[in-house]
Amino acid sequence: QSALTQPASVSGSPGQSITISCTGTSSDVGGYNYVSWYQQHPGKAPKLMIYEVSNRPSGVPDRFSGSKSGNTASLTISGLQAEDEADYYCSSYTSSSTPYVFGTGTKVTVL
């Protein structure tokens, strides 16, 4: 099972919006609405930000939103803030012999 493809880095100024893509196949991202997104600050454990494509857990700001089209899922951060600078990973359930796959990760920089 190959990792889902994400851009290595995305940057934006405070207040701007950025979008991170996550591209898979019909066996994972495209086949199920089980895409999730995780934020990871340096030296910290990942934190769930979005589940089932577009749902936000309690406590996650509504600046974070998710969507999916075909084999590509996206995470959008609106009104970018300094504390949003972190690594972001997508994940999907898969129909392969291994049930989960992560994306390659995207470093978000707030300029």
Partner 1 sequence: EVQLVESGGGLVKPGGSLRLSCAASGFTFSSYSMNWVRQAPGKGLEWVSSISSSSSYIYYADSVKGRFTISRDNAKNSLYLQMNSLRAEDTAVYYCARVEDFYFDYWGQGTLVTVSS
Q: Summarize as ranges the residues that interact with partner 1 (CB under 8 A).
A: 1, 3, 32, 34, 36, 38, 40, 45-48, 51-52, 57, 89, 91, 93, 97-105
CB of 62 closer than 8 Å to CB of 77: no
Provide, rounded to whole angstroms, the least separation between the CB of residue 54 and partner 1: 12
Alpha-carbon distance 11 to 17, whole Å?
10
Provide, rounded to whole angstroms, the least separation between the CB of residue 10 and partner 1: 15
Residue 1 or 27: the one with the smaller Cβ distance to partner 1 is 1
